[in-house]
Amino acid sequence: MDVVVSPRFMRAYRRLTSDLRGRVDEALRKFVRDPRHPGLHFEKLSGSDYRTIRPVKGAYRIVLRQIEGGKFELVDVDTHKLVDSKYG
């Protein structure tokens, strides 16, 4: 699985605590190996082209969107509530 990182994602990632960054890193490793890994809860946000995975139980979401050639762009990482209000 190819993943492209957006500037917005990097800004959001840098604001996370080191513990959360570690969890995001682990979730992204799982995603690259197997996007359908059940622990990621990979799902489409209703009414949008964005998808999310969960690096931390229910609290945070990584926002992605599929781009050309089956690649995914990492768009953002934020709390569940803010992701829903921005992208859902």
User: pLDDT digit string (tens) for 44-81?
Assistant: 998 899 999 988 666 899 999 999 888 999 999 999 99
> What total number of domains does the chain contain?
1
What is the C-alpha to C-alpha distance for residues 63 and 44, in angstroms, rounded to an integer?
A: 10
Write down the pLDDT at residue 68: 85
What is this structure's pTM? Answer: 0.91
Long-range interactions of 83-86: CB distance < 8 A, separation 24+: 83/45, 83/52, 84/45
DSSP-derived secondary structure letter, 16: S
pLDDT of residue 1: 79
Q: Which domain holds residue 23?
A: 3-87
In whole angstroms, give the CA distance from residue 5 to residue 17.
19
CATH number for the domain that contains residue 30: 3.30.2310.20
Question: From CA 70, how far away is CA 39, in angstroms rounded?
Answer: 21
pLDDT digits (tens, 9 = 90+) for 21-50: 999 999 999 999 998 898 899 999 988 999
